[in-house]
Amino acid sequence: MPLCVSLPPPRLCVYSLPRPEASDLDFPARQAILRNSHMAKGNDKNYVSVWFWLFAMLVMALPCIGVVMIIIWAFTGENESRKNYFRALIISFLLMAAIWTALIMVGLSPVIMKTLTTWIQHLQKTVAHW
């Protein structure tokens, strides 16, 4: 039975469709429904609770223990979701460290070049005296 709203034309009608039976669904759809129902109950092996994330953020805030735990959580355990998150965290840290190092090197290149030139000139003078 349609549910219609009294508006000027065009009329808006919503038809309720009958829910398909499990036998009407193909096998992958049935698997998706089962997977989602397990995840909602916390039975999925990749399910990570809000409480774990709060605990993880608290541990990551600790100076040395946080770094060690990020590495441990990235490579141990069976929870792929958690491992992927911490692996991505490590990769993003390494990328930022590489970009930061490159920017520092570009910014300090005049100082480095001046120091190298001074050392080379000093070395040439020392070798010339021998």
**Structure confidence by residue, pLDDT tens digits, 96-117:** 999 999 988 888 888 888 999 9
Mean pLDDT rounded to a whole number for the chain? 81
**Do 87 and 105 belong together in one domain?**
yes
**Do 81 and 36 belong together in one domain?**
no
| Whether pLDDT at 14 is above 80 | no
**Do 29 and 62 belong together in one domain?**
no
Task: Please report whether residue 8 resides in a domain.
Answer: no
**Do 58 and 37 belong together in one domain?**
no
**Do 108 and 98 belong together in one domain?**
yes
Burial group, residue 86, by CB count within 10 angstroms (0-12, 13-18, 19+) = buried
**Do 67 and 98 belong together in one domain?**
yes
Reference 73, options 52, 92, 93; nearest CA is 52
**Do 67 and 87 belong together in one domain?**
yes
Which residues span the domain enclosing 38?
Answer: 18-46
**Do 72 and 106 belong together in one domain?**
yes
Task: Please report whether residue 53 resides in a domain.
Answer: yes
> Average pLDDT in the 108-129 region?
89
| Whether pLDDT at 61 is above 90 | yes
Question: Whole-angstrom Cα distance, residue 12 to residue 7?
Answer: 7
